[in-house]
Amino acid sequence: MRAAERRWWPLAIAALVLGEDESAIDAAKGMHGGSPAFVRAATAIEALGRRDRDAYAEAIAAIVVDFEGRETPLTGVAIADTALMLERLAEPRGLACRPSSALLPAAR
C-alpha cells in the first residue's frame, strides 16, 4: 500500500469522531487504492458517513470475516480491532450492528 492511501485512514477516523461525516466519506474515497482490507474499511466508513445501515452492516460483516480468516493477527492479539472501533463510532449514529464473533467482545 502506498503512503497516499495510508494517510486517509486517520483522517477518515478523525472525521467520524468529530461527526464530520462528509469529510469522512471524502477521506474514505482516498483509501480505495489500498489493500482489500483497506477497501473494506473504506466501505464501512462511507456507509457510516451516509448513515446507511444496510451497507454498514454488510461492510462490518466483511471486516469481521477477514479478521476471522487471519492465521496471525497483525497486532499479535486475536481481536477484530477495526470492527470494534467502527462499531464504537456507529453507536452514536444508531448504526451499530453488533456482529457476533470470537474476535469481538460479547454484545451488551
pLDDT of residue 29: 95
- Tell me the C-alpha distance between 53 and 37, whole Å: 20
Q: What pLDDT was estimated at residue 46? A: 98
Q: For 61-79, what is each residue's pLDDT tens digit? A: 999 999 999 888 777 788 9
**pLDDT for 107:** 67
Each residue's pLDDT tens digit, 15-54: 999 999 999 999 999 999 888 999 999 999 999 999 999 9
